[in-house]
Structure 1
Amino acid sequence: MSETDWDTVTYLRKKPMKASQLRSQQVINAAQRQGVPIETTKKFNAATNKKTVTTLNTAKLDRETEELHHDRIGLDVGRLIQQGRQAKNMTQKELATVSRHCGYVQHVAHRMKLRGKEKGMPLGVEKKK
């Protein structure tokens, strides 16, 4: 019993250090003084939440030799829209607010056909269901 003293404290287990404590500058300096090898790595794109998977078959696209493009609307359609706007005494802003809808609504708003053989002709009266 003489070996134990009431004033001394014996620790049987010590809590392991947290990851944030292991990264502190104090712990790193102590490890360098002891000669412990330290490995530092930088995370690449750690905070970005982007998916890098391509949805298309890239090999198929590489073999593709065709030049893909959308057909352009001719100047005659632009002139028809301009003439229709001027006939209704609309400003370009008013035309833009009316034209924010799908193509069919644009035909109805202009009251003229913008596609097909009969471009510029008045749109026929719609039948009620």
Structure 2
Amino acid sequence: MSFTGPIRQDWEPVVVRKKAPTAAAKRDEKAVNTARRTGGAVETVKKYNAGSNKGASTSTGLNTKKLDDETEVLAHEKVSTDLRKNLIAARMEKKLTQAQLAQQINEKPQVVQEYESGKAIPNQQIISKMERVLGVKLRGKK
């Protein structure tokens, strides 16, 4: 089958519009309007601070005095200096870089760096992995 006529293009504009309100929304609006016209009981409720956090920050809670009176300093436990020094010494003795040690214990190099700088929160599993790879006891007595 061959086409022998001239090639034609459709230059009609295409108009894209927003969706019309759904049937359920129209129905709800219709029901409220009908109830208002007939004098039926229509109860409206004003929601204050709906969908915002304004009310949460401005309201004074019962525990604010307790929080103000709190004197205990709460902080995460950090790696001890003994553990840091032992880790650095053992790693240097094995002639490993931080990246190589991290690869052997299946952790990111940043983890080893944080342990050596003392910023890490001690994780016993990671410490035991490092002890196993380095062949030394990092915690407690040698």
TM-score, normalization by structure 2 = 0.37
Output the TM-score relative to the length of structure 1.
0.40
Q: Which has the higher contact order (CA 8 A, sep 6+)?
A: 2
